[in-house]
Each structure stands twice: as structure tokens, then as C-alpha cells.
A = this chain, B = another copy of it.
Amino acid sequence: MRQTKSGDKHSPYSYTGLHRVIHERARLSVLTSLSVHPKGLRFGDLKQLSGLTDGNLSRHLQVLVTSKLVEITKTFEDNRPQTFCKLTALGRKRYAEYVLVLERVVKDAAAAVKAPAPKRGSSPA
């Protein structure tokens, strides 16, 4: 058999749209948190919502900023520095595209649930 290319036509379950930058669980948490809060979130609130530690959140934010999906601004509130995180327009677009693929996975999985489970000891088809 020839090497399979990961085209969707012949490989319906390849899900090539699940890009690693967004698909990684911690980053998916961060992006969803920011997506639900389009005005942006303070670092501390984002940390709380995504359930990450300071170090993990910082590390993943760095990846997201490098990929231009998130922008970070330093502000002052009551004379205290605040780190403020927000989705970029590109981030919003990429996240929406990613979720479309996720919806396909859920749909495919739902179709699978309808397929009957095989009987015990049944032989290969």
C-alpha cells in the first residue's frame, strides 16, 4: 500500500486542522477562557479559569504570543502593575477554525456510538 497523505478526502479521521499550538490542553483552556471573555482577562483571573500554575500559564502564553494568537499588555491598576491578556483577531479566527474541527470529532464520535458494540469473541470482519 502506498504512503497515505493526510488529506481529509481519503483520511476522514486525520483531523489535520487540530493544530498543535491550539490543541495542547493547557493552551486550549487559555484560548477558551479568553474566547469567552472577549474584552480580555487579567493574568490572575486567566490562571484561575484555566486551572494552571503561574509557571505553566506564563510558558503557554509565551507560545500563544509568539504565534500571534494572544496579545499581552502591561497596565496599572491602583498603582499596581497588571498583566492583561486578550485574543488577537487572528487568535479569534484560528480558534473558531479549530473548534469547527472539534465539532467534527464530536459528530464522528456520536456516529460511532450509534454503531453497535461487537459481541464478545467476535472474529475480525
Contact = CB atoms under 8 A, between A and B. Distances in A.
Given A1-B47, A39-B122, A106 B102 contact: yes
Contacts of A73: 124
B75 A115 contact: no
Given A13-B33, A38-B112, A40-B125, 11 more contacts: A4-B52, A11-B29, A14-B50, A15-B28, A15-B29, A16-B51, A32-B109, A39-B118, A39-B122, A92-B117, A95-B109
Interface of A: 1, 3-8, 10-16, 18, 20, 23, 25, 28-29, 32-33, 35-40, 42, 44, 47-54, 73, 75, 82, 84, 86, 92, 95-96, 99, 102-103, 105-106, 108-113, 115-118, 122, 124-125
